[in-house]
Amino acid sequence: MRTDDILQVIPAAAESANMLTGSATVEFATTVPEHAAHGAAATAAGGAHAASMWAPSVAASAGVNQQVAGAGAALAPRGGKVAQRNDQSLTADLQTDNQNAQDLTPVVSI
């Protein structure tokens, strides 16, 4: 459906849809208590499975985080020089851009 389409609802169809969804809601409400105990057990088992499945990844990412922190500490003294070089490079680029703009500006002579 496109965003500029108009959705028209026929009253009889709307009434039929409301009746169907209403009966489905009643059926769902009676079914849920019957399966609540099964759902709780399945949730607990699913949680244990997810924990066992993701535990190696969580441990590995903790190790990577420690390595990243160590690398950051090792590179920190060089950060000032890198920032200075970046600043010089950006300044040179800006000067080049300004010069190019001047060179490309048409000059009208009468």
pLDDT at 64 over 70: yes
Q: Which residue has the tokens 């535990």?
A: 55
Residue 57's pLDDT is 74
Which secondary-structure segment (H or E) carries 38? Answer: helix 11-104
Answer yes or no: are the C-beta atoms of 1 and 7 closer than 8 Å.
Answer: yes
Structure tokens at 87: 């600043």
Secondary structure letter of residue 7 according to DSSP = -
The half-sphere exposure of 43 on its side-chain side, counting CA atoms within 13 A, is 6
Dihedral angle of Cα 8, 11, 14, 16, to the nearest 10 degrees: -140
Residue 87's pLDDT is 86
pLDDT at 67 over 70: yes
pTM to 2 decimal places: 0.30
